[in-house]
Amino acid sequence: MKISVLGSGRWASFLAWYAGTTGHSVTLCGRRGSSSLEGLRKTRANAYVTLPESIALTDDIRRAMAFGDVILIAVAAQQLRTLLNSLPERPAVPLVLCMKGLEENTGLRLSQVTEQCLGGVPVAVWVGPGHPSDFVRGVPNCMVIDSANPALTRMLADELSGSLIRFYYGEDLIGTETGAAAKNVVGLAAGMLDGLSAPSLKGVLMARGAREISRLTAKMGGRELTIYGICHLGDYEATLFSPHSHNRRCGECVVTGEPYRELAEGVATARSLMRLSEQYGVDLPICAAVNDVFEHGSDPKDALSGLFLRSTKSEFYL
Protein backbone atom coordinates (compact mmCIF):
# COMPACT_ATOMS: atom_id res chain seq x y z
CA MET A 1 0.00 0.00 0.00
CA LYS A 2 0.85 3.67 -0.10
CA ILE A 3 0.67 5.01 3.44
CA SER A 4 0.69 8.63 4.58
CA VAL A 5 1.53 9.44 8.19
CA LEU A 6 0.30 12.76 9.61
CA GLY A 7 2.55 13.78 12.49
CA SER A 8 6.30 13.86 13.01
CA GLY A 9 6.78 13.12 16.71
CA ARG A 10 7.98 9.98 18.48
CA TRP A 11 5.12 7.67 17.56
CA ALA A 12 4.52 9.10 14.08
CA SER A 13 8.17 8.65 13.08
CA PHE A 14 8.07 5.07 14.37
CA LEU A 15 4.89 4.36 12.37
CA ALA A 16 6.54 5.62 9.20
CA TRP A 17 9.62 3.48 9.91
CA TYR A 18 7.51 0.42 10.70
CA ALA A 19 5.27 0.77 7.65
CA GLY A 20 8.41 0.97 5.52
CA THR A 21 9.80 -2.24 7.04
CA THR A 22 6.60 -4.09 6.13
CA GLY A 23 6.99 -3.25 2.46
CA HIS A 24 4.74 -0.21 2.06
CA SER A 25 5.55 3.10 0.37
CA VAL A 26 5.49 5.85 2.98
CA THR A 27 5.20 9.64 3.15
CA LEU A 28 5.49 11.36 6.53
CA CYS A 29 3.88 14.79 6.82
CA GLY A 30 4.72 17.11 9.68
CA ARG A 31 3.39 20.53 10.57
CA ARG A 32 5.07 23.39 8.75
CA GLY A 33 7.69 24.85 11.08
CA SER A 34 7.74 21.78 13.32
CA SER A 35 11.10 21.30 15.02
CA SER A 36 10.66 17.52 14.97
CA LEU A 37 10.08 17.54 11.21
CA GLU A 38 13.06 19.82 10.64
CA GLY A 39 15.21 17.49 12.71
CA LEU A 40 14.15 14.53 10.57
CA ARG A 41 14.87 16.48 7.40
CA LYS A 42 18.38 17.32 8.55
CA THR A 43 19.48 13.95 9.90
CA ARG A 44 16.73 11.45 8.94
CA ALA A 45 16.77 10.49 12.61
CA ASN A 46 15.54 11.36 16.08
CA ALA A 47 16.06 9.77 19.49
CA TYR A 48 13.96 6.76 18.49
CA VAL A 49 14.38 5.84 14.83
CA THR A 50 16.44 6.42 11.73
CA LEU A 51 14.30 6.79 8.63
CA PRO A 52 15.54 5.33 5.34
CA GLU A 53 15.73 7.54 2.27
CA SER A 54 12.77 5.67 0.79
CA ILE A 55 10.42 7.47 3.23
CA ALA A 56 9.41 10.86 1.87
CA LEU A 57 9.22 13.82 4.25
CA THR A 58 6.94 16.77 3.61
CA ASP A 59 5.02 19.60 5.23
CA ASP A 60 2.57 19.70 2.31
CA ILE A 61 -0.57 18.07 3.69
CA ARG A 62 -2.31 18.07 0.30
CA ARG A 63 0.55 16.04 -1.13
CA ALA A 64 0.41 13.60 1.77
CA MET A 65 -3.34 13.14 1.53
CA ALA A 66 -3.20 12.58 -2.23
CA PHE A 67 -0.41 10.02 -1.84
CA GLY A 68 -1.88 7.53 0.59
CA ASP A 69 -4.24 4.60 0.16
CA VAL A 70 -4.51 4.88 3.95
CA ILE A 71 -3.74 7.82 6.24
CA LEU A 72 -2.29 7.15 9.69
CA ILE A 73 -2.76 10.01 12.16
CA ALA A 74 -0.39 10.27 15.11
CA VAL A 75 -0.78 13.57 16.92
CA ALA A 76 -1.67 14.40 20.52
CA ALA A 77 -5.25 13.34 21.21
CA GLN A 78 -6.28 16.87 22.19
CA GLN A 79 -5.01 18.19 18.84
CA LEU A 80 -7.07 15.83 16.70
CA ARG A 81 -10.11 18.06 16.22
CA THR A 82 -7.93 21.02 15.25
CA LEU A 83 -6.05 18.88 12.73
CA LEU A 84 -9.20 17.44 11.18
CA ASN A 85 -10.84 20.85 10.89
CA SER A 86 -7.71 22.22 9.18
CA LEU A 87 -7.54 19.56 6.47
CA PRO A 88 -7.66 21.21 3.04
CA GLU A 89 -10.17 18.68 1.76
CA ARG A 90 -12.24 15.73 2.89
CA PRO A 91 -10.12 12.55 2.88
CA ALA A 92 -10.98 10.05 0.17
CA VAL A 93 -9.29 7.12 1.94
CA PRO A 94 -9.63 5.50 5.38
CA LEU A 95 -8.10 7.21 8.42
CA VAL A 96 -6.35 5.22 11.14
CA LEU A 97 -6.13 6.98 14.51
CA CYS A 98 -2.86 5.90 16.11
CA MET A 99 -3.16 7.59 19.50
CA LYS A 100 -4.94 6.91 22.77
CA GLY A 101 -7.16 9.41 24.50
CA LEU A 102 -10.57 10.96 24.97
CA GLU A 103 -11.39 14.53 24.03
CA GLU A 104 -10.96 16.55 27.19
CA ASN A 105 -13.81 19.03 26.81
CA THR A 106 -16.43 16.57 25.58
CA GLY A 107 -15.46 13.08 26.77
CA LEU A 108 -15.84 11.87 23.18
CA ARG A 109 -13.85 8.96 21.81
CA LEU A 110 -11.51 9.96 19.02
CA SER A 111 -13.52 8.09 16.37
CA GLN A 112 -16.53 10.14 17.47
CA VAL A 113 -14.52 13.34 17.08
CA THR A 114 -13.58 12.22 13.59
CA GLU A 115 -17.20 11.47 12.73
CA GLN A 116 -18.24 14.94 13.92
CA CYS A 117 -15.59 16.62 11.80
CA LEU A 118 -15.59 14.37 8.73
CA GLY A 119 -18.86 12.46 8.82
CA GLY A 120 -18.81 9.34 6.66
CA VAL A 121 -15.04 8.95 6.27
CA PRO A 122 -14.02 5.37 7.19
CA VAL A 123 -12.03 5.39 10.44
CA ALA A 124 -10.12 2.77 12.38
CA VAL A 125 -7.98 2.84 15.51
CA TRP A 126 -4.54 1.29 16.12
CA VAL A 127 -3.86 0.68 19.83
CA GLY A 128 -1.98 -1.64 22.14
CA PRO A 129 1.33 -2.04 23.93
CA GLY A 130 4.77 -1.18 22.64
CA HIS A 131 7.39 1.55 22.75
CA PRO A 132 9.50 2.65 19.76
CA SER A 133 12.66 2.09 21.80
CA ASP A 134 11.77 -1.60 22.13
CA PHE A 135 10.50 -2.13 18.59
CA VAL A 136 13.60 -0.70 16.92
CA ARG A 137 15.70 -3.15 18.98
CA GLY A 138 13.67 -5.97 17.50
CA VAL A 139 11.46 -6.65 20.55
CA PRO A 140 8.07 -7.82 19.17
CA ASN A 141 4.61 -7.17 20.54
CA CYS A 142 0.91 -7.59 19.77
CA MET A 143 -1.49 -4.75 18.98
CA VAL A 144 -5.11 -4.22 17.88
CA ILE A 145 -6.83 -2.68 14.88
CA ASP A 146 -10.52 -1.90 15.38
CA SER A 147 -13.22 -0.08 13.47
CA ALA A 148 -16.97 -0.15 12.91
CA ASN A 149 -16.32 -1.91 9.59
CA PRO A 150 -15.08 -5.52 10.00
CA ALA A 151 -13.76 -5.64 6.43
CA LEU A 152 -11.67 -2.52 7.00
CA THR A 153 -10.40 -3.91 10.32
CA ARG A 154 -9.26 -7.14 8.72
CA MET A 155 -7.68 -5.47 5.71
CA LEU A 156 -5.62 -3.11 7.86
CA ALA A 157 -4.58 -5.77 10.37
CA ASP A 158 -3.50 -8.13 7.59
CA GLU A 159 -1.64 -5.45 5.60
CA LEU A 160 0.15 -3.96 8.61
CA SER A 161 1.18 -7.16 10.39
CA GLY A 162 4.87 -7.99 10.31
CA SER A 163 7.56 -9.76 12.31
CA LEU A 164 7.57 -6.99 14.95
CA ILE A 165 3.82 -6.55 15.41
CA ARG A 166 1.08 -9.14 15.24
CA PHE A 167 -2.28 -7.46 14.93
CA TYR A 168 -5.51 -8.77 16.37
CA TYR A 169 -8.91 -7.91 14.94
CA GLY A 170 -10.91 -5.70 17.30
CA GLU A 171 -14.67 -6.18 17.45
CA ASP A 172 -15.71 -3.52 19.97
CA LEU A 173 -14.75 0.02 19.00
CA ILE A 174 -16.26 1.52 22.17
CA GLY A 175 -14.32 -0.80 24.45
CA THR A 176 -11.11 -0.65 22.44
CA GLU A 177 -10.94 3.15 22.45
CA THR A 178 -12.08 3.58 26.04
CA GLY A 179 -9.74 0.92 27.36
CA ALA A 180 -6.75 2.23 25.43
CA ALA A 181 -7.32 5.76 26.69
CA ALA A 182 -8.00 4.81 30.30
CA LYS A 183 -4.88 2.67 30.71
CA ASN A 184 -2.84 5.90 30.64
CA VAL A 185 -4.70 7.10 33.74
CA VAL A 186 -3.88 3.83 35.51
CA GLY A 187 -0.29 4.41 34.37
CA LEU A 188 -0.22 7.76 36.18
CA ALA A 189 -1.40 6.03 39.36
CA ALA A 190 1.31 3.38 38.93
CA GLY A 191 3.93 6.10 38.64
CA MET A 192 2.68 7.70 41.84
CA LEU A 193 3.06 4.34 43.58
CA ASP A 194 6.66 4.18 42.33
CA GLY A 195 7.28 7.68 43.66
CA LEU A 196 5.85 6.65 47.03
CA SER A 197 8.01 3.49 47.10
CA ALA A 198 4.89 1.32 47.06
CA PRO A 199 5.17 -0.62 43.75
CA SER A 200 3.84 -3.76 45.47
CA LEU A 201 0.38 -2.17 45.23
CA LYS A 202 0.48 -2.28 41.43
CA GLY A 203 -1.11 -5.72 41.47
CA VAL A 204 -4.16 -4.38 43.27
CA LEU A 205 -4.12 -1.33 40.99
CA MET A 206 -4.24 -3.55 37.91
CA ALA A 207 -7.12 -5.64 39.22
CA ARG A 208 -9.15 -2.65 40.29
CA GLY A 209 -8.26 -0.49 37.28
CA ALA A 210 -9.48 -3.06 34.79
CA ARG A 211 -12.65 -3.63 36.84
CA GLU A 212 -13.72 0.00 37.03
CA ILE A 213 -13.05 0.66 33.36
CA SER A 214 -14.93 -2.51 32.37
CA ARG A 215 -17.99 -1.26 34.27
CA LEU A 216 -17.82 2.09 32.50
CA THR A 217 -17.39 0.42 29.11
CA ALA A 218 -20.50 -1.70 29.64
CA LYS A 219 -22.55 1.39 30.52
CA MET A 220 -21.29 3.08 27.35
CA GLY A 221 -22.51 0.18 25.23
CA GLY A 222 -19.24 -1.71 24.86
CA ARG A 223 -18.17 -5.14 26.10
CA GLU A 224 -16.68 -5.58 29.57
CA LEU A 225 -14.34 -8.34 28.35
CA THR A 226 -12.67 -6.01 25.86
CA ILE A 227 -10.98 -4.25 28.79
CA TYR A 228 -9.29 -7.51 29.76
CA GLY A 229 -7.72 -7.74 26.31
CA ILE A 230 -4.78 -6.07 24.58
CA CYS A 231 -6.23 -2.56 24.46
CA HIS A 232 -6.20 -2.13 28.26
CA LEU A 233 -5.04 -4.93 30.58
CA GLY A 234 -2.68 -6.22 27.88
CA ASP A 235 -1.03 -2.78 27.77
CA TYR A 236 -0.37 -2.57 31.52
CA GLU A 237 3.22 -3.87 31.35
CA ALA A 238 4.22 -1.18 28.88
CA THR A 239 2.37 1.56 30.75
CA LEU A 240 2.63 0.69 34.45
CA PHE A 241 6.15 -0.76 34.57
CA SER A 242 8.23 0.32 31.58
CA PRO A 243 10.89 3.03 32.03
CA HIS A 244 9.77 4.30 28.62
CA SER A 245 6.19 5.03 29.76
CA HIS A 246 5.49 8.77 29.77
CA ASN A 247 2.44 8.37 31.99
CA ARG A 248 4.20 6.22 34.58
CA ARG A 249 7.12 8.64 34.69
CA CYS A 250 4.80 11.65 34.95
CA GLY A 251 3.01 10.09 37.92
CA GLU A 252 6.34 9.40 39.59
CA CYS A 253 7.53 12.97 39.05
CA VAL A 254 4.40 14.50 40.58
CA VAL A 255 5.36 12.71 43.80
CA THR A 256 9.08 13.47 43.75
CA GLY A 257 8.61 17.05 42.62
CA GLU A 258 10.77 16.64 39.52
CA PRO A 259 9.67 18.60 36.43
CA TYR A 260 8.20 16.51 33.64
CA ARG A 261 7.85 18.10 30.22
CA GLU A 262 6.88 15.18 27.99
CA LEU A 263 3.29 14.59 26.89
CA ALA A 264 1.33 12.38 29.32
CA GLU A 265 -2.06 11.81 27.67
CA GLY A 266 -3.51 10.36 30.87
CA VAL A 267 -3.79 13.77 32.52
CA ALA A 268 -6.38 15.05 30.04
CA THR A 269 -7.99 11.60 29.84
CA ALA A 270 -8.60 11.63 33.61
CA ARG A 271 -10.63 14.83 33.21
CA SER A 272 -12.60 13.23 30.37
CA LEU A 273 -13.31 10.14 32.45
CA MET A 274 -14.70 12.27 35.26
CA ARG A 275 -17.15 13.66 32.73
CA LEU A 276 -18.10 10.15 31.63
CA SER A 277 -18.34 8.97 35.26
CA GLU A 278 -21.01 11.57 35.88
CA GLN A 279 -22.74 11.05 32.55
CA TYR A 280 -23.09 7.28 32.96
CA GLY A 281 -23.35 7.13 36.75
CA VAL A 282 -20.31 4.90 37.21
CA ASP A 283 -17.93 5.25 40.16
CA LEU A 284 -14.30 5.50 38.97
CA PRO A 285 -12.25 5.76 42.17
CA ILE A 286 -8.80 5.32 40.59
CA CYS A 287 -9.49 7.86 37.87
CA ALA A 288 -10.97 10.24 40.44
CA ALA A 289 -7.89 9.94 42.66
CA VAL A 290 -5.57 10.66 39.74
CA ASN A 291 -7.70 13.60 38.63
CA ASP A 292 -7.71 15.01 42.17
CA VAL A 293 -3.91 15.07 42.12
CA PHE A 294 -3.44 16.61 38.68
CA GLU A 295 -6.53 18.81 38.48
CA HIS A 296 -6.98 19.91 42.08
CA GLY A 297 -3.49 19.60 43.51
CA SER A 298 -4.32 16.93 46.07
CA ASP A 299 -1.43 15.27 47.84
CA PRO A 300 -0.62 12.00 46.01
CA LYS A 301 -0.06 10.10 49.23
CA ASP A 302 -3.41 11.17 50.63
CA ALA A 303 -5.20 10.44 47.33
CA LEU A 304 -3.78 6.93 47.02
CA SER A 305 -4.12 6.14 50.72
CA GLY A 306 -7.80 7.00 50.45
CA LEU A 307 -8.01 4.77 47.40
CA PHE A 308 -6.39 1.66 48.83
CA LEU A 309 -7.56 2.02 52.43
CA ARG A 310 -11.26 2.32 51.66
CA SER A 311 -13.77 0.45 53.77
CA THR A 312 -13.62 -3.32 53.52
CA LYS A 313 -15.68 -4.83 50.70
CA SER A 314 -15.99 -8.04 48.73
CA GLU A 315 -13.22 -8.61 46.18
CA PHE A 316 -15.89 -9.24 43.56
CA TYR A 317 -16.93 -5.59 43.88
CA LEU A 318 -13.41 -4.15 43.51
User: What is the C-alpha separation between 38 and 36, in angstroms, rounded?
Assistant: 5
Which distant-in-sequence residues (6+ apart) come within 8 Å of 303 by Cβ? 192, 289, 290, 292, 293
Q: How far is CA 60 from CA 27, 28, 233, 279, in A?
A: 10, 10, 38, 40
202 assigned to active site:
no
* Alpha-carbon dihedral angle through residues 243, 249, 253, 256, given to the nearest 10 degrees: -40
> What is the end-to-end Cα distance of the chain in Å, rounded?
46
Partner residues linked to 95 by β-bridges: 71, 123
Partner residues linked to 127 by β-bridges: 144
User: What is the C-alpha separation between 200 and 234, in angstroms, rounded?
Assistant: 19
Q: Residues 42, 183, 202, 301: which is the catalytic one?
A: 183
Do residues 198 and 240 make contact, with C-beta atoms less than 8 angstroms apart?
no
Q: How far is CA 108 from CA 18, 55, 103, 146, 187, in A?
A: 29, 33, 5, 17, 21
Helices 246-256 and 266-280, packing angle to 10 deg: 90
44-49: Cβ within 8 A, 24+ apart: 46/10, 46/13, 47/10, 48/10, 48/13, 48/14, 48/132, 48/133, 48/136, 49/13, 49/14, 49/17, 49/132, 49/136
Catalytically active residues, by annotation: 183
